[in-house]
Structure 1
Amino acid sequence: MAEFETVRRTHAGVRTAQIDEGLRAHMNKVYGTMSVGMLITALAAWAIAGLSVTSDPASGMMIREGQYLTSLGSTIYASPLKWLIMFAPLIFVFGMSAGINRMSAATAQTVFYAFAAVMGISISSIFLVFTGESIVTVFLVTAIAFASLSLYGYTTKRDLSAMGTFLMMGLIGLIVASIINIFLASSALAFAVSAIGVLVFAGLTAYDTQNIKNTYIQMAASGNQEWLGKAAIMGALSLYLDFINMFMMLLSLFGNRE
């Protein structure tokens, strides 16, 4: 993919200042949408985890001393429904990617926020497994790493497109290994998936940021605001997935378990 300056020069009919201003607005929308999605995920995860735990021993399964699962918690974490909840975010991503051309920008944004809520439910068990302090610490570390990597992807003159194929192969390998390990429950494989996953999603953060920027520059001359709006939503989805997966991998590696 062409570098920023090369691509920008190809659009002779669009002034550089206009492209720069539009690009800033586009990236602000991408990061803003992603941030709202992250907030929805955090609130959904915290709320579901809180409703899933009680101190009443008569409620059912004990998860640690003095804490038991409520009926909601048993349904989410200890019933066959847990498989649907586990894979629901993946289904959302595939569905949204396949149907984005048939959606309006407003619909795509609504679907993204619904996906963020489902993701929150899916990962809510972290509040039952890890200490609150370690969750906050790992989140802050992830935020710093993500911001640095995304800034690099945005500002670098180096073409990162060559990384795309390699990173996607790594991502597919991680998904397959993670699904296999659901049944194997191997701690060694889980460690390897988390360690490699951090590197893969770190690379994807820089790659996706540059790809979002270059895609906007290539399409800026078209003036298709509906398309650009949907591109911002899909860009937010890409960066959201990079962040949330990097966070989960780091939490698995360094989080303190209850």
Structure 2
Amino acid sequence: MNDYDQTGRRMVNNSFGMNKFLTKTYGWMALSVFISGIVSYLMGSVYHASLGLIPSIVGIVIWFGLAMATSSVAMKNSSLGFILFMAFSVLTGGLYSYIFISYSTTVIAQAFLTATVDFVVMALIGITTKKNLDKIGTQALGALIALIIVSIINAFLRIPAFGFVISIIAVIIFTILIAYDSQKVKDAYNEYGSDIPENGLAIYGAMTLYLDFINLFLQLLSIFGGNDRD
């Protein structure tokens, strides 16, 4: 009887811990999206400011550096990792401030709403499905690498129709990755939750999901706003 009670108690604690972890992960992810949106809106819509060529190049270099540093630092020092994550969100908002200059508010709202619905549905699928998504997730990552190469080529060719097709494919890829990464975040807690600080894992997961969402939003924005730029 004693053994049964102890087993049951561990299962309840694991379930509670998982729910707490996921709430924290998605909460921080939502906070980072909110911060990026506010910074982008203030710079682009209120102050009508966007970064020039040189500042943008420097910003992109720092952006990549922060992206790599945040995940690494968070595993060792979650407080510093969180600060870097928020700084990363602010920088992302600044880099994409041109959105509020180039696109109408209606198009931005349509893209954001669609991305949000897509994200919520696929995240729920990733968290709740019992099917292992490793295979399809790996295929999506491979397709993303190929798509990046094709996008670079198209940057020189400048074929609008080709760019539209690329955006459609990218939406499909990031939709799959949202489910895949959501499952990986859950699996990471189950596998490493007792070895790595929970906050560090949550920041790592929030960063991954944030990047999925932002890229999905940008591709949808490109599709919806292709012929509707201010």
Q: Settle same-fold status: TM greater than 0.5.
A: yes
Task: Verify the 8 A CA contact 2:28 2:203 in the aligned structure 1.
Answer: yes
Q: CA deviation at 1:251?
A: 0.7
**Aligned partner of residue 158 in structure 1, secondary structure:** coil
Count of aligned pairs = 222
Q: Deviations over 1:21-42 (max 9, x none)?
A: 0000000000110011011100
Q: CA deviation at 1:235?
A: 0.3
Q: Deviations over 1:223-256 (max 9, x none)?
A: x4x5221110010011111111111001101123
Q: CA deviation at 1:48?
A: 1.3
Greater radius of gyration (CA): 1
- Asked whether 1:169 is paired with 2:142, we answer yes
> Which moves more between the two structures, 87-96 or 190-199?
87-96
Supply the distance in 2 between the matched residues of 1:192 and 1:87 (Cα, whole angstroms): 28
Give the match for residue 227 of structure 1: 197
Give the match for residue 62 of structure 1: none
1:122 equivalent among 95, 118, 121: 95
Q: Structure 1's 49 and 95: CA in aligned 2 closer, same or farther, altered over 3 A?
A: same
Q: CA deviation at 1:45?
A: 0.4
Query: What amino acid is the match of 2:17?
Result: G
1:243 equivalent among 190, 213, 221: 213
Q: Structure 1's 158 and 132: CA in aligned 2 closer, same or farther, altered over 3 A?
A: same
Q: Structure 1's 218 and 207: CA in aligned 2 closer, same or farther, altered over 3 A?
A: same
Q: CA deviation at 1:217?
A: 1.5
Give the match for residue 257 of structure 1: 229
Q: CA deviation at 1:16?
A: 1.1
- Asked whether 1:136 is paired with 2:136, we answer no
1:93 equivalent among 67, 79, 95: 67
Structure with a larger share of its residues in helix: 2
Q: CA deviation at 1:164?
A: 2.6
Query: What amino acid is the match of 1:205?
Result: I
Consecutive unaligned residues in structure 1, runs of 5 or more: 1-11, 54-71
Give the match for residue 28 of structure 2: 33
Give the match for residue 43 of structure 1: 38
State the identity %: 32
Give the match for residue 56 of structure 1: none
Task: Verify the 8 A CA contact 2:74 2:81 in the aligned structure 1.
Answer: yes
Q: CA deviation at 1:257?
A: 1.7
Q: Deviations over 1:179-230 (max 9, x none)?
A: 444444332332232111101100010001111111111234x2x4x52211
Task: Verify the 8 A CA contact 2:74 2:203 in the aligned structure 1.
Answer: no
Supply the distance in 2 between the matched residues of 1:174 and 1:82 (Cα, whole angstroms): 23
Query: When the two structures are superposed, what TM-score results if normalisation uses the length of structure 2?
Result: 0.87
Supply the distance in 1 between the matched residues of 2:17 and 2:125 (Cα, whole angstroms): 20
